[in-house]
Amino acid sequence: MRLLIALMLCYFSFWPAAASAASKPLIIINKAVNQLAFVQNGKIESIYPVATGVTTTLTPEGLFTVKVKAKNPYYRKKNIPGGAPNNPLGTRWIGFDANGTDGRTYGIHGTNNPQSIGKYITQGCVRMHNRNVEALYEKVPTGAKVLIVRSNESFAALAKRHGALQ
C-alpha cells in the first residue's frame, strides 16, 4: 500500500508541470514561409502572414522572451509619435530580447505599409497587418516565448518539439 501511495505521489507531482508547459503560449515565426503561428493551451490557435528581414541574418533566429508590449508605439529612430499615420511600427509592439537586447530593438509589430506583408523587407523586426498584431497583442503575455526559425518543418512539429503541443 505504501508503495502504491509513493508511486501516485511521484506521478502527480510531475503531472502539473507537464500540463503547464503545454499551456504556456508560444509564438513561432518561420522565415522560410513568412508566417507566424500562435500556440496556446496545447493547440495552434492562429497562423498569420508576416514580413521579415531583407536578408536572412537581419531577423535573428532562436528562442527569445517577450519583454515589452506597447500600444501605438513611438518610433524613436525617426521621431514619429505613436498613432501617427506615417509610423512604420503600426498600432502594436511586442518586443523580445534577441541578441541580448531588452525588447525595444527587435519586435513583432504592425505596419503602415500593408503591401509589405509576406515579403523579405524589414531591418530585423517581424511585421504584421495591424488587425492581426492587435489580436495577437491581446493574447500574448510578457514572458511568452518567441521561436524564430527558417525551417521546412510544420508549425505542429516545431511546437511539439518545443513542448507547446500535447
Alpha helices in the chain (DSSP H): 2-23, 130-139, 155-161
Phi, psi of 156 (to 5 degrees): -60, -45
Q: List the catalytic residue out of 10, 109, 129, 162.
A: 109
Q: Which of 10, 125, 129, 162 is flagged as catalytic?
A: 125
Radius of gyration of the chain (CA): 18
Cα(75)–Cα(89) distance, integer angstroms = 7
C-alpha cell recorded at residue 73: 508605439
Q: Cα separation of 59 and 120, whole Å? A: 10
Mark whether 162 is an active-site residue: no
Query: What separation in angstroms does the CA of 22 have from each of 32, 97, 127, 136, 164?
Result: 25, 22, 26, 18, 4
Q: Is there a contact between 58 and 121 (Cβ–Cβ < 8 Å)?
A: no
129 among known catalytic residues? no
Query: Which residues have a catalytic role annotated?
Result: 109, 125
